[in-house]
Each structure stands twice: as C-alpha cells, then as structure tokens.
Chain A
C-alpha cells in the first residue's frame, strides 16, 4: 500500500493527464451509445457544415453527419484492432520467445532466424500490400499486423527469459525438480511480466498508427464507417468546407498515440528503476 502512494506522488503531470485522456477514450470505446447516441444513423439532409455550427461543435462531414459523434463512435473501431494486435503479438511472443529462450538449441535457432528475417521486412508496406490484396476487411488486417509485430515480442521475451535462466533461483528450482511448466509460469513469468506488459502497451500505440494508416488507404473498413483513419480520408474531400472533419480525427489519433507512449515510457522508466 505504501508503495502505491509513493509512486503516485512521483508520477509526473504529463503521465496523469495521459492516463486521464486514455480513460476517456476507453469510456468512449466501451459505451459509444452513451456519449454519441445514433452516431451512424443521423439526419443527413443538411450537407457539410463548418465547425462551431449550432448543434454541431465540430461541424458535419460530407454526408452531413456530426463529426464529434462520429469521432466518439470511431474510438471503438480505432482502438479494438490495435489492442487485439498487441494481445496477439504478445501471446505469440511469449510462446515462441519462451521456447527459444528456455530450450535453446535448434528451436532457438529456427525461431531467432524467423524473427530476424521478419524484422528486416518493411512492416507497414507489407501490411498495406497483404491486407489490401487478401481483402476480407478489418480482422484480416489485424491478423497480418499480428504476424508482422510478433518478432519484436519474440526477441524481447527470449532475451528476458535467457537473462532469468542463469539466475540462482532457477537453478534451485531445477534442483528441487519443479516441473518446467511451473518454473516457466510461476518463477520466470512474474519476473519478465513487467517488461512484457510495457511492450504490450507500447505496441498499442504502434498498432493504432498502423491500423489507421490502413484504414486511411481504405483497407479494412468500408467508406463511411466510423473509424478515425477512415474519417481522415473521408474528411480530406471536404477540407475546404469543414477542415475539422479531417483534422479532429487526425488529432484524435495523434493524441491517443502520444498518451499511450507517455504512459508506456513512464512505466519503462519505473520498471528499470525497480530492477
């Protein structure tokens, strides 16, 4: 208990603000209908309105839909994908990274070469090409991203496991004939979980940037969908009439990614201080 209070006191203001912003975004993600009821079936008779029009703080888009409502409704589509990417990639990372780090030998060699080769590939480019050609929408894009993101996590987990493997407490666990599964899950995992979690968190920011890049190009989401990347490309057409339509979605992406990064960097610093 003491420690939690202590770390709160040391938390810089930027981190506090970022956490606040992320909570708001998470709320929009969880309950879009509460904040923006009927965002997707709006009265579309009024055409494009500029920002600060009565009743429409950020104006309306090319279809006459309220931009602020779309922005709130778009949080879910913009964030669910990146979170799934981070989860999928960290799961693969933990599985393959632990196998490579713990067992070594041929498995390590194969997994490490796989990671090396995937790492040397241009991620965003391949994602655009693969997601675009395969088609199949949002979840295919997520799957492609998981495959392209996982080598980072594999490497990270592998080196963390290797670092723990030689320590005395593992040796004593081995001497005590504790089963491998138990050593990995109860002894090693708690010691690498912080590094893994921080990386998981930062991956959300990268995933957000990549996924919104894909949806900006029209891959993964259909036109008119509430999604930040898509809103940017839809809003590009009405940049003259209502710049807020495109710019607000851009700002939403940048602010979210920056906040995730700020919190993630702070956690990295904290975990390196603790160790």
Chain B
C-alpha cells in the first residue's frame, strides 16, 4: 500500500504546483493587460485621482508583486475575487447564477461522449480493417478536426433554422424544455469529445487484442464477453487518464458553443468578460474551470494507478520478492495476501 500512498502524495503535490502556476498566470493577467491596473479596475466609473488612490489602497496595488499575489491567493481560497468591473457586484455572486446551465451542458455532453466514445472505440477496435472501422475513423477524424463553433453554426442552421426542430437560442424552462434547448449544443460538444475518446479507446484496445493472454483465453474457449471484459479492463488506464484532456476540451469548447447558441452560461460570460476586460470575473471563471480540469486529472491518475493491472503486478512482484526474503515467521509481509488475486495481464 505504501506505493499507492507515495503515488497519491506525488500526484497531489503535482496538482498543487500546477494550480499555483495557473493561479500565478491568471493573477498576472491584470498586469499583462495594457494600461494601469488601477485604471482598468475602475472600469466605466469616472476616473478621479482620489478614486484611483482608493482602488490602489483596497487592492494593495502599491505592494510588491509577490505580496499582492499572496493576498490574491488568500482571497481566492476564501472565494473572494473582488468586484466585477462591469457591474460592481462581488464576482462570485455575479458569476454563480451562470454556472448551473454550463454544468448541465458539460455533464450531458460528458455522459454522452463517454458512452458513445467508448462504445464506438470498442466497435472500431473489434472491427479493425473492416468497413465500420473506416467509417468510424473518418467520422471521428472530422470530429477532432472541426472546431466546435463551426459544427455548432452548421447544426444551428440546419436543425434550428431550416427544419425548426430545435430552438435557436435560450435555455428553456423546466426539465424537458431545458433538455430540448441544450440538445444541439450538447451534440456539438459530444461530437468533438467523443471523437477524441474513440481514438484513445481504439488505440488502447488494439494492443490488448494482440497480446498473448487474449490468444490463450481464446484457445481455452473462454466466452467472448469475458475476453472482452479483460481486454477493456486492461486498456482502461489510458482511457481513464484521458479524462483531464476530455474535460479540458469540454470546458474550452463550451466557451465557443455557448456563444454560438447564445446560452447565458459561464463560457459566454467568460467570452464577454474577456472582450470587456472585466479582469476579476475572468480570473475567477478561468481559475475555477482550470481547477476542475486539474483536480479531475489528478483524481483519475490516482484511480488509474490503483486499478491498472501492470502497476498492480509491479506491486505484487515486489511483495513476492519481499516474501522470498522473508525469514521472520512471526511477521509476514502485510501486503502479501491482499495482492495475490492479481489481474489478467
């Protein structure tokens, strides 16, 4: 178990470092923006020297850069990102109402892409070299090459404008209506992200189908579904660890898709705040989304490490070595009994 703990600590440390780096980049945005930070924080209000001085005072803009960064991180931990430049309201309160629709959209797309991506990835790996593999490969090639806003505009034109099957904008009231409004944007995100998952699943699964254990299981006429279950389990690590990439793609894509379909979500707010140079709002949204992506990829990396048969086998071998060197009968190595069940690999 120590191996697992060591890995968890290492991965969490990496997570904290990446979040700090991201926080640093996102914090520096205020200074990278052209012009005086104090002036850009004033926004649309009348600029007077007194007001600038007050702004400098409240934001501590005269402190050394790293002291300011420290203050900012402190505030960020307590979810205090200052006030929106555009509305003057506290950032968190201003942004929060936009979050629900984005998370619904991302969740729907995530579920659809995982189901479709893994399903078609398996289908295409199983039928490799056949027509269905070619068709899936070509469709997913378009999916990975097409920017989500282009697909979005296309489906908006065809299904909402031409056929009128779906609403052109808005988010709808109630569950069914909401689902109906989010169907097209979710489909666009799903198209891009499931294409990515198809590629990953296919290339993770094909090597497993060529490995010896597959041949031996077949030779011993183990039922096909069991062989497949073993193959998918063994291929699961790269699929799982792609979750960070998948979320990054979904959250990046949602900015564009929300703007195509005029959905008042986080993405649209981020895009309009970027154009408006509403730095505190941008900082909050960007940090939140980046935090989600980094946290998710840390969690799946740890999960993959725990369930991955090869890393489990490594631990097993190590404990076997420990068992062979074991000469104190009163004190057997603790990890030995837990690890004997082993995986197919």
Contacts and interface: CB of A to CB of B under 8 A. Distances in A.
B112 to A, nearest CB: 20
B257 to A, nearest CB: 11
A30 interface: no
Q: Say whether chain B's binding surface is mostly helix, strand, loop, or mixed.
A: helix
A133 B293 contact: no
Contact of A132 (B148, B151, B274, B297): B274
A243 interface: yes
Given A120-B297, A247-B154, A130 B25 contact: yes
Interface in A119-139: 120-126, 128-130, 132-136
B147 A216 contact: yes
Nearest to B277: A133
Contacts of B153: 232, 235-236, 239, 246-247, 250
A258 interface: yes
Contacts of A250: 149-151, 153-154
Nearest to B152: A250
Interface in B134-163: 141-142, 144-151, 153-154, 156-157, 161
Contacts of A258: 141-142, 145-146
Interface in B53-89: none
B103 to A, nearest CB: 15
Interface in A225-275: 229, 232-233, 235-236, 239-240, 243, 246-247, 249-251, 253-254, 257-258, 260-262, 265
Interface string A25-63: 000000000000000000000000000000000000000
A116 B244 CA distance: 13
Contacts of A247: 153-154, 157
A59 to B, nearest CB: 14
Interface string A183-219: 0000000000000000000000100010011001111
A176 interface: no
Contacts of B293: 120-122, 125
Interface residues of A, number: 47
Residue in A136, A216, A229, A260 whose Cβ sees the most chain B Cβ within 10 Å: A216
A254 B142 CA distance: 7
A121 B294 contact: yes
A90 B292 CA distance: 29
B271 A128 contact: yes
Contacts of B51: none
B34 A232 contact: no
A135 B282 contact: no
B286 interface: yes
A246 B154 CA distance: 9
B197 interface: no
6 contacts: A117-B18, A120-B244, A128-B252, A128-B255, A128-B271, A134-B29
Given A129-B274, A218-B275, A219-B275, 10 more contacts: A117-B21, A129-B29, A134-B29, A213-B149, A213-B256, A243-B161, A250-B149, A250-B151, A254-B150, A254-B151
